Amino acid sequence: MLRLTTFVSALALSTAAMAEDITVGVSPGEHGEIMEKVAEVAEPLGLTIEVIEFSDYVVPNQALADGDLDANSFQHRPYLENQMTDRGFALVEVGTTITTPMGVYSDRIEDLADLPEGAQVAIPNDPTNGGRALLILQDLGIITLTEGTGLVPSPLDIADNPKGLRFLELDAAQLPRTLADADIAIINTNYALASGLSPRGDSIAMEKADSPYVNILVVQEGREAEPWVQTLVEAYQSPEVKAFIDEKYEGAVITSW
């Protein structure tokens, strides 16, 4: 009996030693919803995740760099690279998550062929998502960008604008509200879903499936080898989370694994 009690006590101490509490920053919509599911999967693995939602794309990396978060899950690679270049953040990708194709939305037209001369186009005001929106318009044959602008073109890099489109650059979270005024808005999936829009049902055009904008899990540089990081990635890239995403978003959100 003593030996069994000793074994049980040792097991409890071992489990306690393996347990870890972390905070993960997310943006509204699918990133937050998916991370809540990840937290359910991670709990039996000894990892307790507190999910903290941010309303914009700027604060989560600053909070992570400042040590107020242990990880974040809201951004794609080009955005992280741009943030590290511009702000000097020492952050590192530790795993891929999902791809959320951007969509073109409108309350005024049902076909991009009907886009009027001088139309107002609302796009995100951060360099990577704004550039991503312009690349979508180029892929759709609506504008032509100057060669060599890469993944972060701005409206200043438009070489040909045959319809004389006027660009309104706003915080990405505000774009769904512009549909009453702008002719079209190019909106990230998370903000579209959060505002009640259906990417498959309400968009008039979607980003191509082979987009380079895969989303990622990010931690502070130097922490990537900590044991909880591997547990977080395994929980995220689990069959349970994949099934949740496939069922809930019906193809509007695509898993990377």
pLDDT at 100: 87
On whether both 15 and 78 belong to a single domain, the answer is: yes
Among 111, 106, 139, 130, which Cα is nearest to 211's? 139
pLDDT value, residue 13: 37
Last residue of a domain, one of 206, 221, 242: 206
Residue-level pLDDT at 211:
81
| 192 plus 108 within the same structural domain | yes
80 and 13 in a single domain? The answer is: yes
Same domain? 202 vs 216: no
**Residue 194 and residue 244 share a domain:** no
Q: What is the mean pLDDT of residues 146-154?
A: 93
pLDDT confidence of residue 164: 98
For the chain, what is the mean pLDDT?
A: 92
For residue 3, pLDDT over 80 is answered with: no
Structure confidence by residue, pLDDT tens digits, 56-98:
888 999 999 999 999 999 999 999 999 999 999 999 999 999 9
Report the domain count for the chain: 2
User: Could you give the CA distance from residue 31 to residue 98 in angstroms, rounded to a whole number?
Assistant: 9
**Does residue 150 share a domain with residue 90?**
no
Judgement on whether residues 36 and 94 belong to the same structural domain of the protein: yes
Angular region, 164: left φ>0, alpha ψ -120 to 50, beta rest: left
Residue 19 pLDDT level (bands cut at 50, 70, 90):
confident
Same domain, 79 and 173: no
Residues 11-40 have a mean pLDDT of 82
User: Residue 167 and residue 86: Cα distance in Å, rounded?
Assistant: 24
The answer to whether 62 touches 25, Cβ cutoff 8 Å, is: no
Which pLDDT score, from 0 to 100, does residue 56 have? 87
The DSSP bridge partners found for residue 205 are 104
* 72 and 9 fall within a common domain: yes
Range of the domain at 168: 103-206
128 in the same domain as 88: no
Residue 8: per-residue pLDDT: 35
Q: Is the pLDDT of residue 212 over 90?
A: no
User: Are residues 158 and 224 both part of a single domain?
Assistant: no
Which pLDDT score is estimated for 18? 58
pLDDT digits (tens, 9 = 90+) for 118-132: 999 999 999 989 999
pLDDT for res 210: 78
74, 60 Cβ separation under 8 angstroms: yes
Domain check: are 33 and 126 in the same one?
no
Q: Which residues contact 98 (CB under 8 A, 6 or more apart)?
A: 30, 34, 214, 215, 245, 253, 254, 255, 256
> For position 59, which CATH number holds?
3.40.190.10
